[in-house]
Chains A and B, each alone.
Chain A
Amino acid sequence: MAGLSNCLRDHRDRAGLTQADLAEAIGVSRKTINTIENNVFTPSTLLALKLARCLGVSVHDIFTLEDDV
C-alpha cells in the first residue's frame, strides 16, 4: 500500500513561517505541525486544505503518495 510523504517543511520555510506561525494561522498546535512534518501524523483532508491555502500552494504540492515519488 502506498504511503504518504510530504514536503510541508520546505513550503513552510519558503513562506518564511515557523511551525508556531503556521499552527497559529490555521488554528492547531505547534505539535500538530511538527508531527505532520515528521510523517508521524496524517492530517485530515480539511486540515490539508487549510495548510495548502495558508501556504499558497495546492495539496498535491505538499502531500505525495510514495509510489509517485
Chain B
Amino acid sequence: MTAPTLTLIRNGSFSLLGLILLAYAAAVLATGRPDPVSPILPGAAGILTGIIVTLTARMATGKAAGIAWDELTRATWRRALTGGYWVAVWLYALFGLGLYLDLVTPAQSFAAMGTLTGAAPFLIFLANWVRGRV
C-alpha cells in the first residue's frame, strides 16, 4: 500500500466519521431526542475509524506509513486537536446558555456536545489539510 493510498483512506475515514458525528448532533437537536438513531453509532464509528486507520498503516511498509503520517500531517493533527479543545469549551458555553434558556434538555446537550466535540478535530484537520494550512 502506497503513501497516497494511506492518505486517501485516512482522510476518507476521517470525513465519514466527522459527518456521522455531525449528522448525529444535528439529528439530536432537530428531533429533541438524545437518541435519534442507535446511540451506539457514534462510538462504533469512532472505534471503526481507529481500527481502519491503524490496520491500513500496519499493512503498508514503514516508509509509506511514515510519509502518510509525516511531520506536516502530525503538526496538522496537533493543531486540529487544539482547535477541537476550544470548540469543546465554546460548546459548554453555548449549551450552558441553551440549558439556562430551556432551549435544550440536559440529555440533548450531553448527546449533541459529545458528538460535536468528537467531530471537531477530524473536521478541522480535514479543512486545514484541504486548504494546505498547518
Contact = CB atoms under 8 A, between A and B. Distances in A.
A41 B129 CA distance: 12
Contacts, number: 35
A31 B63 contact: no
Contacts of B132: 31, 34-35, 38, 40
A27 interface: yes
User: A27, A29, A44 — which one has the most chain B CB atoms within 10 A of its CB?
Assistant: A29
A34 B75 CA distance: 15
A28 B134 contact: no
Interface residues of B, number: 14
Contacts of B71: 28, 32, 43-44, 47
Contacts of A29: 3, 7, 67-68, 70, 72-73
B66 A27 contact: yes
8 contacts: A29-B73, A31-B132, A32-B71, A34-B132, A35-B72, A40-B133, A41-B134, A43-B71
Interface of B: 3, 7, 63, 66-68, 70-73, 75, 132-134
Interface of A: 23, 27-29, 31-32, 34-35, 38, 40-41, 43-44, 47
